[in-house]
Amino acid sequence: MAGFILKRLVQSVFVMLAVAFLAFSLFTFVGDPISQMTGVETSLQDQARLREELGLNDPFVVQFMRFTGDMLQGDFGYSFRTREPIGAMLLSRLPATLELGVVALVISLVVGIPAGIYTALRPRGLVSQSILIGTLIGVSIPTFVIGILLIFLFGVQLGWLPTFGRGGTVQIGWWRSSLFTGDGWRSLVLPSLTLGLFQLTLTMRLVRAQMMEVMRTDHIRFAIARGVPWRSIRYRHALSNTLIPVITIIGLQFGGVIAFSIVTESVFQWPGMGLLFLESIRFVDIPVMSVYLVVIAFFFVVINLLVDLLYVAIDPRLRVRESA
Amino acid sequence: MFRTTLPTAALALSIALLSATPIAAETFRWAGTTDPQTMDPHAVNAAPVLSFLNNVYEGLVRRGPDMNEEPSLATAWEALPDGAGWRFTLRQGVTFHDGAAFNADDVIFSYQRAASEASDVRSWFASVTDVVRVDDYTVDFLTSAPNPLFPGSIANFLIIDADWAVANGAELPARDAENFATRNANGTGPFVLAARDPGIETRLVPNAGWWDNAAHNVTEAVFTPIGNPATGLAALLSGEIDLISPIPLQDVAQVEGRAGFKVQAGLETRVIVLGFGHDHDTLKYSDETDANPFRDPRVRLAVAQAIDVDTIDRVIMRGAAEPASQLLPAGLSGYSDQHADRPAFDPDGAKTLLAEAGFADGFSFGLMCPNDRYINDEAVCRAVASMLARVGIDAKVNAMPVRGYWDELRAGNFDMYLLGWSPGTFDAEHPIRFLAHSRTERLGTWNFGGYSSARIDALLAPIQQEIDPNARQAMLDEAAGILQDDVAYVPLYTEPLIWAMKDSVNVVQRPDNFFMLRWVSVN
């Protein structure tokens, strides 16, 4: 087990290095940070001096080595745009993104799993068909359009919910939370619905397909033949077998929720890491963009690692293969 | 339009503001697309920063509603004999937000800070050789040559408290790592920085001890950056914010169609022009690369005649722009009234000119264009391309985000390009210095096409130094004439300024697009 974890950890380091390298090399094509940092009246000499001071004239390899070296020492550098330390910048934006992601995930599970079970057990019912068609339309419309539609319906026309931002927040240590005020929750509704809709559809369809398949397996048929009560068959025997692959997929998808909250955050001016990333692209803030991507890669790596470990814990066959 | 209606409207409004008894207002919330990157008045020479900080800090000179220079921290200024520089008499009894008194030491400290290598505004002081303290409330700025425009050119030179900056380790503007002045401020302005959350929200409260009479009735002002235009519009229409600037032209009808909201439109000081690769030997993006037709002034004139600016204004800018004839809008100081006409729209004349120049069969070329910098910039380029196609020249439009655009232009990767220019000093000398003078390390730095005229180069220094307004205007008229005869650029139009707000909000829209809270009143 320890060997397995160690192996995965070493792999993870290489994954992150590769991401850092790709990110860094891509960003050299994004644009010129100097022309974004200086005013129109700044002379070419002053621009050149700034370029030299920031080390932008150094060869790509040198810049990359410096970046990774600093990162390894925990020095994330400073933003070109605001001159803030990037570590603190990302940390201050992290709670917003995580809270949005978690609430979106919870919505997708709380609605998606029961809806999946229902549509699996009554595949031909009118309600099932409308749920399926409705969610299909939902995922087919791009996220930003859904967001704008929700904003104009609930924010502008009905005036029920705020259109942007996090609303009232509470500071708990360095963590700024919108989960403890009514205003904060009202602000969370629309963005988390927007972000969670795709997840919801995915979860629902996955549960539905798995459930229908499990219901056809031999042990369920046998249980039916034995006269085990329907309730027990469905919710004890079938559901538990259904959920194992579902949990895996959902775990992996959570990384995606965090990474792809960029669009939702931009539509709702939600002050998370995704919005920060977009602002950084606009200003060619290369250090912030690079660190952001490495952090996102880190999320994926950690989540993958946890899922792998869960696999080993759940599935006895994997443990046997490891020890063999 | 600019010349007549705007200052008059602004004046009328400011009179209205002064005479109306302010009613107690609540928190005023406004939004813009860009967050000011820093609260440091000398670190970044960018409009979002200077516009915001002009509410918190003040300069020696400030600009009124119609851009006129008026006393601020200096009560008076006069030229020193023999053009040696300028003497500023400072206002007495002014205090910074933390209660410290303002005097000559703060001015000298701020000058040293703003002219340092770590500053992004040091180009304002290119002509300054020294700053001398005469007494506690008199300061001399010595210049290397007579500089009649100097007081106006430092209207955005904001004064910071010397002791406060030194005590907090902010002697110099932050270059790589932030310092205390990046998020905190101690100015003398009408508003005090109460809370700063970069990229999220910035709160200002009125300065109770401000030296001037406050014409606003704001008790607290909150700025939120909203990058997505649709989100910004929704935030306004839902009532969560009181004002947003700018809004896209296509949303104007939406706002005006709703009860309780209004759009305030004016003209900005930015002129949109087309530039040419004057010093390119061949076209870079042509199928016939044997020569560069744009080196021939007849071809450039043909381009100017082929473009129907009125149609661009009507269709793409929805009538909000104003056709331009020079590198600065009509009405600004130094504008040449003699050269107020732009070449008439004349496609047949353009075809004749092209034939005379030997390009009767036309040619193809690359038109570079930003797609997120100016109002509907890419659409304008496509319209220009289709108009040029009608006289037989085929423009291939290459539109890109502005973050990579200047790099491409500096590298010479264009045959023709679109550029917007807002003269930072609001004087005709500014575009000559940056766009028309031959390219050197310090001059002509935005003259991407390498236009060069010996006469323009020779005129720049006398224009900068001439004290007599008539003699100066004569030189500016000559320069404007040369630029028009050479068709160095094709000026298209002056960009509009479009703000949307609740009906209850009254503001003054200054042509430099600065948002001054001191003129806001909420009913």
Per CB-CB distance under 8 Å, the chain A contacts of B224 are 164-165, 269
**Whole-number pLDDT of residue A317:** 64
Select from B175, B402, B403 the residue whose CB has the most chain A CBs within 10 Å, as the one to mutate to test that interface: B403
CB B218 within 8 A of CB B517: yes
Mean pLDDT to the nearest integer, B488-513: 93
Kindly report the CATH number that applies to the domain delimited by B8-242+504-522. 3.40.190.10
CATH class of the domain at B267-496? alpha beta
> In 3D, which of B150, B52, B170 has the Cα closest to residue B110?
B170
> Among A179-188, B91-100, B357-366, B430-439, which is the least confidently predicted range?
A179-188
Mean pLDDT to the nearest integer, B397-411: 90
pLDDT band at B507 (very low <50, low <70, confident <90, very high): very high
pTM of the model: 0.87
User: Chain A residue with minimal CA distance to B422?
Assistant: A40
- Highest mean predicted confidence (pLDDT) among A245-249, A287-291, B272-276: B272-276
Question: Interface pTM (ipTM) of the complex?
Answer: 0.85
Per CB-CB distance under 8 Å, the chain A contacts of B201 are 165
CB B160 within 8 A of CB B107: no
Of B38, B117, B123, the CB nearest to A83: B38
Per CB-CB distance under 8 Å, the chain B contacts of A275 are 199, 227
Per CB-CB distance under 8 Å, the chain A contacts of B237 are 156
CB A274 within 8 A of CB A261: yes
Per CB-CB distance under 8 Å, the chain B contacts of A284 are 403
Of A40, A152, A282, the CB nearest to B234: A152
Inter-chain contact A35–B122, Cβ cutoff 8 Å?
A: no
Per CB-CB distance under 8 Å, the chain A contacts of B203 are none
Per DSSP, B316 falls in state I
Query: Does the pLDDT of residue A157 top 60, yes or no?
Result: yes
Query: Does the pLDDT of residue B218 top 80, yes or no?
Result: yes
**Whole-number pLDDT of residue A270:** 93
Inter-chain contact B442–A162, Cβ cutoff 8 Å?
A: no
> Among B21-25, B297-301, B448-452, which is the least confidently predicted range?
B21-25
**Whole-number pLDDT of residue B15:** 42
What is the gyration radius of the CA atoms in chain B, in angstroms?
Answer: 24
Higher pLDDT, B98 or A215: B98
How close A46 gets to chain B, by Cα (Å)? Answer: 8
Of B199, B226, B238, the CB nearest to A276: B199
User: Chain B residue with minimal CA distance to A96?
Assistant: B200
Q: What is the pLDDT of residues B122-158, one digit of tens each?
A: 989 988 999 999 999 999 999 998 988 899 899 999 9
Inter-chain contact B182–A84, Cβ cutoff 8 Å?
A: yes
CB A156 within 8 A of CB A116: no
Query: Does the pLDDT of residue B63 top 90, yes or no?
Result: yes
**Whole-number pLDDT of residue A281:** 87
**Whole-number pLDDT of residue B1:** 35
Inter-chain contact A44–B441, Cβ cutoff 8 Å?
A: yes
Task: Map out the domains of chain B as residue ranges.
Answer: 8-242+504-522, 267-496
User: Chain A residue with minimal CA distance to B174?
Assistant: A83
> In 3D, which of B276, B489, B262 has the Cα closest to residue B393?
B276
Mean pLDDT to the nearest integer, A119-134: 86
Of A82, A164, A283, the CB nearest to B38: A82
Q: What is the pLDDT of residues A96-107, one digit of tens each?
A: 999 999 999 999
Query: Does the pLDDT of residue A273 top 60, yes or no?
Result: yes
Query: Does the pLDDT of residue B397 top 60, yes or no?
Result: yes
**Whole-number pLDDT of residue A255:** 80
How close A172 gets to chain B, by Cα (Å)? Answer: 16
pLDDT band at B252 (very low <50, low <70, confident <90, very high): very high
Strands (DSSP E) contained in B33-157 are 61-63, 69-71, 74-79, 85-90, 128-135, 138-143
How close A306 gets to chain B, by Cα (Å)? Answer: 33
Mean pLDDT, all residues of chain A: 84
Higher pLDDT, B18 or B336: B336
> Among A27-31, A136-140, A222-226, B240-244, which is the least confidently predicted range?
A27-31
Inter-chain contact A32–B404, Cβ cutoff 8 Å?
A: yes
How close B7 gets to chain A, by Cα (Å)? Answer: 27
Query: Does the pLDDT of residue B189 top 70, yes or no?
Result: yes
Query: Does the pLDDT of residue B25 top 80, yes or no?
Result: no
Give residues with Cβ within 8 angstroms of B325, minimum separation 6.
Answer: B339, B340, B341, B342, B484, B491
| Percentages of chain B per state (helix, strand, coil), in multiples of 5 | 30, 25, 45
**Whole-number pLDDT of residue A284:** 86
Q: How many residues does chain B have?
A: 523
User: Chain A residue with minimal CA distance to B118?
Assistant: A50
Query: Does the pLDDT of residue B430 top 90, yes or no?
Result: yes
How close B200 gets to chain A, by Cα (Å)? Answer: 6
Per CB-CB distance under 8 Å, the chain B contacts of A156 are 234, 237-238
**Whole-number pLDDT of residue B21:** 41
Q: How many residues does chain A have?
A: 324
Give residues with Cβ within 8 angstroms of B185, minimum separation 6.
Answer: B39, B53, B56, B57, B97, B192, B193
Tokens of A93: 């934006």
pLDDT band at B8 (very low <50, low <70, confident <90, very high): very low
Mean pLDDT to the nearest integer, A165-191: 85
Per CB-CB distance under 8 Å, the chain A contacts of B227 are 266, 269, 275, 278-279, 282
User: Chain A residue with minimal CA distance to B37?
Assistant: A82
**Whole-number pLDDT of residue A316:** 64
What pairs with residue B417 in β-bridges?
A: B275, B368
pLDDT band at B23 (very low <50, low <70, confident <90, very high): very low
Q: Which residue has the tokens 């935030």?
A: B235
Q: What angle do the packed helices B454-465 and B469-486 form, to 10 degrees?
A: 160
Q: What is the pLDDT of residues B221-238, one digit of tens each?
A: 999 999 889 999 999 999
**Whole-number pLDDT of residue A319:** 62
> In 3D, which of B14, B15, B152 has the Cα closest to residue B430?
B152
Strands B243-245 and B27-32: parallel
How close A203 gets to chain B, by Cα (Å)? Answer: 29
**Whole-number pLDDT of residue B402:** 87
**Whole-number pLDDT of residue B242:** 95
Give residues with Cβ within 8 angstroms of A266, minimum separation 6.
Answer: A144, A274, A275, A278, B227, B228, B231
Higher pLDDT, B274 or B16: B274
Q: What is the pLDDT of residues B104-120, one digit of tens each?
A: 999 999 999 999 988 99
Mean pLDDT to the nearest integer, A193-220: 86
% chain B with pLDDT above 90:
74
Residue B260 amino acid letter: G
CB pairs under 8 A between A and B: 142
Per CB-CB distance under 8 Å, the chain A contacts of B446 are 40
Instruction: Kindly report whether the peptide bond that precedes residue B246 is cis, defined as omega within 30 degrees of 0.
Output: yes
Per CB-CB distance under 8 Å, the chain A contacts of B182 are 82-84
